[in-house]
Each structure stands twice: as structure tokens, then as C-alpha cells.
Amino acid sequence: MTPTATKTTPEVSILKQYIAGKWVDGSSSREIVSTNPADNRQVLGKVKGADKSDVLKAIDAAQKAFPGWKATTPPARGRILMKAALILRERKEELARLMSLEQGKILPEALGEMEKGITLIEWFAGEGLRMGGITQPSELAKNLLYTTRHPRGVVSIITPWNFPFAIPAWKIAPALISGCTVVFKPASLVPALAVGIVKAFEDAGLPPGVLNLVMGAGSAMGDILVEEPRIKAVSFTGSNEIGKRVHTIAGARGIPVVCEMGGKNPAVIWDDADLELALAGVMKGAFGSTGQRCTATSRLILHTKIADQFLKMLLAEVAKIKVGPGLDKASGMGPAVDESQMNTDLEYIAIGKKEGAKLLCGGNRITTGDYAHGWFVEPTIFDGVSPKSRLWQEEVFGPVLAVTRTDDFDKAVELANDCPFGLTCAFYSQDLTLAMRFTEEIEAGMVHLNSPTIGGEAQVPFGGVKGSGVGEREMAKEGMHFFTEQKTVFLDYTGARRASNLY
Ligand code: UN1
């Protein structure tokens, strides 16, 4: 495994903050260093970190740009978004390569993420022509009732490292099309991709100050992105710990907030399931993106009758996964994003063993040869996991799958629901009645029938219940509505004739 040489891209060469339409250095003494998780000797770029003063400048710029952007018609905003999407399409391969290098995911996954993010921008671009409210008949004659939507103002967008392009895209695009101006703070592990997306909007002609990028340690910036009075809404995806903090501060200020947080998503494979289909779904769900997605399949509930057969098929398939660098064509699974995430994976593997679960495969860091310079963990499966155990209840965010068995449908649903999260789930069966019962009884924001727990599409809402999220759903109309205020208008056009009031 030789580290793949970094192709110098324009995006890497301008690793800077973007404030008021200018690429500038941050004021913090702390640098953000972008490294390759497959080979931590390879530094991809460095950013002079932002601190509170930079965030305030970004908020100033966004506040100044707001009236002009608000006055720009939604179709005109949409054309800028569409241009950004076209630019991103041209840069798709280049940015996907960069994503593999910086985040670690294998190239086909990075290309898939680019495609998804670009589609989201295109979808929201089109909403510029459709964003109107509703018209309803009134109780009163010659009266019209209708609603309009208005941008909230300056908003904060805070995103994680696991989808460094798609998650920023699905938050920035609806904010911009709504007429909001944005202060965008990506995770410090993925600055190059954040620059890549912002650069595309700049090149598409987005006016200065409408989208600002601040990169730096959370500790250097403090809570200013949520507590500054000019911030009118916050959209956050990330850990439960930070999400709860964001929610509390935003709640105390009385501003709208969306927090998309963890998942511990179950896949239930029933005895009549198409096992080949279920196998493909569990492989993608549990080990795709190295398990580092909130929609990952992390709990597997097998019908007792097919459990041994299915696990045999699964183990044979997992044995074929070649763990390796994202840009290596042979790799089927990339590294953990950094040392800390790798250690979390290993800690949960140790917890699983201690709790008495049976390790079926994996369980180790890979350190042979050049692998010692990366954060590689084997795909890991535990059988006989107790529902009360930490391995069943807590999010790992790595390639670790917990398995249990039952032959009772009600018990399967109970096991699936016995967890603090409720983002997504999967049910594999040919039985429509059972599938519909599962859909009704499961506590989750998204249900996949005969399809893996992962993924989402631009045109339908995305989000979860319980510990998985608070606030409005993302994507689709809901994703855009979050960034707007509504006005209900009561229009009386009786003119000189006196309106006869009903009440
Ligand atoms: C997906 O499964 O394609 O952080 C998206 C996450 C989610 C996104 C998952 N917000 O993993």
C-alpha cells in the first residue's frame, strides 16, 4: 500500500476562511491540519483556524448581504444554485478523489456522495420556481386567504465529517434558495471539501457575504454560532452531545433549530425474506462508508429459522472485503476517519467482548506494513448481543454489527424499538401484512422495506425520532420550510360594499 500522491487541486491550494466574499486567514493560533486517514504521514493542507472574531466578521458580512439576497427573486437565486450544481458536476471526479483522500471513504462511495449532493442542489434550485405558499377559500365572501414565505435572516449551518459534501449541500442549498444568508462551519477534519463546495458557489456568482465559511476548533469559536442574537436559525448534524447543547442554547433563545444526531438502526430479516437481497442490504448498510453514517445498519435481528444460514452467507461476504485506502481500486472499505474514531470502534469491540457477546469476525485494528500509518479497523460482527447491553443501545459509528435472533414478530419489533434512537430501519420479508405492521409499529423516521437502512432522496423528508433528532425534517419541501417564516394574508376585496362579518 503506497500512499497515493496528492493531486494539487485549486481547492486544496486555497485552504482559507471565506468571509464577505474574500479568502482570508483565520485569527486563531491553532491550525487545522487536513491529513489522509489511510496514511497519517500525508498532510493534505493546513488552515489557519478561525476564532470568535472571525465568526463575528462572518455574521456581520451575512447580515449586510441579507437585504440584497432577500430582494433577489427566488427564480434568480435558483439560477445561481443551478450554476453551482453545473460547476460541481464538472469538478465531481476531482472533488470525489479529494474526499477519498481527506475523509477516507472509497472512491465509488465518494462519487456517490458527490452525485447525491449535486442532485440536492439541483432540486432546491428548482424550488426557486415553486416555493409559494397556499391559497384557501375564506369563510367570508369576496375574501382571499393565502400564505407567503420569507427568509429568516442569517443562519448557522454546522456539519459533520462523515458526509463532507452531501450534508453541507442539503443544508446550504435550502437556506440559500429561501433567501437566508449563511455562516457555514464544517467539521475540522474535512476543510478541503468545505472549501470545494463554497468555491463552486463563489464561481457561480453568489454575491459576497451570502455564504461565509469559518473553519476552526469548536473550543476557539465557542457557542457564538448559536447564541449570537443576529443568528435566526441553526441547522446542525453531528453527535448527540453537541446536538443537545445546540438545541438547549437555541431553545433558550427561542430560535428554530434542527439537530440531526445519532442512529442505531435495526435491520430485521424475516424467515421468508429474499436472503440474497437482504445480504446485499446488510453489507451496504453495516460496512458501507466504514459504518460511519447515522443511517448505518448497526443492529441485525434475524428470524431464528434462517439465522445460521444468513450469518454463514454474511461471514463469507465480509471475508471478501478488502480494507484499504479509499483511492485503491481493490479497497472495499476505507479507514476510520481519525485516530479518535478508530479508538471508539476498538473500545466498543472491547465492550462487546466484555458484555459476553460472541465475536464472529473482525475485532482488530489492522497494522501490518503501511497499514500501521492508517486508522484501519476490520469489519466486525458480534452474535448473541443482549438487548440491554451497551453494544445494542449505543452508537458506535464504525463497522461493528450487533446480531440477535427471535422467531416472534412482536419480539422483533420490541427489540428494534428498544433503543434511544429512531432514525431509520429495514425489514426484509415477502409478507405484505407483516411489512405493513412493521411500518406502523416501528419507532423511526424512515422505514426501508426490502432495502438497506441507508440513504435518502432530495425530494422526500429525511430525519428521525427519539434521540435521533429534533426539529423539522431535512431535504424536500420541509428542508426549505425550516429556513422560512410564513405570513398568512387575509385579503378582503368587497370594496365599497360592506363586508358582512360572520362572527
Ligand atoms: C445517507 O445514509 O446517505 O450523518 C445519509 C449521517 C446522515 C446522513 C446519512 N446525516 O450519516
Q: pLDDT digit string (tens) for 458-471?
A: 999 999 999 999 99
Position 31, amino acid: E
Is the pLDDT at 503 greater than 60? The verdict is no
The Cα-based distances of 209 to 80, 122, 377, 402 in angstroms read 15, 22, 42, 47
- Residue 180 annotated among the catalytic residues of the structure: no
The pLDDT value recorded for residue 501 is: 56
Specify if 343 maps to a domain.
Answer: yes
- Is 160's C-beta closer than 6 angstroms to any atom of ligand 1? yes
What DSSP line would sit under 85-118, residue for residue?
HHHHHHTHHHHHHHHHHHH---HHHHHHHHHHHH
191-222 pLDDT, tens digit per residue, is 999 999 999 999 999 999 999 999 999 888 87
Considering the domain boundaries, does residue 8 fall inside one?
A: no
When pLDDT is cut at 50, 70 and 90, the band that residue 495 belongs to is confident
Tally of domains within the chain: 2
Tell me, what CATH number does 90's domain have? 3.40.605.10
The pLDDT-based confidence of 13 (bands split at 50, 70, 90) is low
Task: Please give the distance, rounded to the nearest whole angstrom, from the Cα atom of residue 488 to the centre of ligand 1.
Answer: 34
Please state the atom number of ligand 1 nearest to the C-alpha of residue 294.
11
Instruction: Report the C-alpha gap between 207 and 204 in whole angstroms.
Output: 9
- Report pLDDT for 498: 56
Quick check: CB of 293 below 6 Å from ligand 1? yes
Task: Tell me the sheet residues that pair with 231.
Answer: 154
Please check whether residues 68 and 82 belong to one and the same domain: yes
- Mutate which of 162, 189, 284, 337 for ligand 1? The one with the most ligand atoms within 8 Å of its CB, which is 162
Q: Which atom of ligand 1 is nearest to the CA of 116?
A: 3
Residue 79: pLDDT above 70? yes
The answer to whether residue 4 scores a pLDDT higher than 50 is: no
Domain holding 433, by residue range, is 265-449
- How far, in Å, CA of 250 to CA of 473, rounded? 17
How many CA atoms lie within 13 Å of 260's alpha carbon, on the beta-carbon side? 28
Q: Which of 14-18, 211-215, 303-307, 380-384 has the lowest mean pLDDT?
A: 14-18
pLDDT at 376 over 90: yes
Same domain, 113 and 227: yes
Tell whether the model's pLDDT for residue 15 goes beyond 50. Answer: yes
Q: What is the pLDDT of residue 218?
A: 87
- Is 3 contained in some domain? no
pLDDT at 219: 85
Q: How far out from the chain centre does Cα 406 lie?
A: 32
Q: Specify the pTM.
A: 0.95
Q: Which of 180, 259, 294, 419 is catalytic?
A: 294
Q: Are 242 and 299 within one domain?
A: no
Statement to judge: residues 288 and 166 lie in one domain: no
Is 21 within a domain? no
Question: What pLDDT, on a 0 to 100 scale, did the predictor assign at position 3?
Answer: 39
Task: Give 292's DSSP letter.
Answer: -
Check whether residue 139 and residue 231 sit in a common domain: yes
Whether 260 is a known active-site residue: answer: yes
Q: Of 102, 109, 122, 260, which one is the catalytic site residue?
A: 260
Question: 178 — phi, psi (to 5°)?
Answer: -70, -15
pLDDT at 408 over 60: yes
* Pocket mutation for ligand 1, best pick of 109, 167, 189 (most atoms within 8 Å of C-beta): 167
- Do 269 and 149 lie in a common domain? no
| Residues 300, 314: Cα–Cα separation, whole Å | 11
- Angle at which helices 107-127 and 74-90 cross, to 10°: 160
Which domain CATH number covers 273?
3.40.309.10
Residue 197 lies in a domain: yes
Q: Residues 411, 286: one domain?
A: yes
Instruction: Say which DSSP state 357 is in.
Output: P
Ligand 1, atom 5: closest residue by C-alpha = 455
Work out which ligand 1 atom sits closest to the CA atom of 453.
2
Domain assignment present for 40:
no
Q: Pick the residue with more confidence: 7 or 43?
A: 43
Per the domain annotation, does 161 fall within a domain?
A: yes
Q: What is the pLDDT of residues 298-349, one digit of tens each?
A: 999 999 999 999 999 999 999 999 999 999 999 999 999 999 999 999 999 9
Measure the CA–CA gap between 82 and 74, rounded to whole angstroms.
12
Closest C-alpha residue for ligand 1 atom 10 = 294
User: Which residues touch 495 (CB under 8 Å, ≥6 apart)?
Assistant: 142
Q: How far apart are CA 437 and CA 478, in angstroms?
A: 26
Atom of ligand 1 nearest to the CA of 296: 2
Give residue-wise pLDDT tens across range 480-490. 999 999 999 99
Query: Are 248 and 340 in a shared domain?
Result: no
Please tell me if the CB atom of residue 162 comes closer than 6 angstroms to any atom of ligand 1.
yes
Q: State whether 394 and 306 are in the same domain.
A: yes
Q: The C-alpha cell of 464 is what?
A: 428521525
DSSP 310-324: HHHHHHHHHHTPPB-
Mean pLDDT of 426-436: 98
In the predicted model, is pLDDT for residue 499 greater than 80?
Answer: no
Q: How far is the CA of 294 from the centre of ligand 1 (A)?
A: 5
- Amino acid identity for residue 408 in this structure: D
Q: Looking at ligand 1, which atom is closest to the CA of residue 295?
A: 2
Q: What percent of the chain has pLDDT over 70?
A: 96
254 with 271, same domain?
Answer: no
Please tell me the residue having the least CA distance from ligand 1 atom 2.
Answer: 455
Q: Which three cell numbers stand for residue 444?
A: 423511526
The alpha carbon of 13 and the centre of ligand 1 are apart by a number of angstroms equal to 28
Q: Among 119, 295, 474, name the best residue to mutate to test ligand 1's pocket (greatest count of ligand atoms within 8 A of Cβ).
A: 295
Distance 105 CA to ligand 1 centre (A): 13
Mean confidence (pLDDT) of the chain: 95
Q: Which three cell numbers stand for residue 252?
A: 433558550
Whether residue 445 is contained in a domain is answered as yes
Rounded-to-10 torsion of CA 218, 219, 221, 223: 80
Kindly state whether residues 270 and 257 are assigned to the same domain: no
My answer on whether 146 and 279 are in the same domain is: no
Instruction: Give the distance (Å) from ligand 1 centre to CA of residue 108.
Output: 16
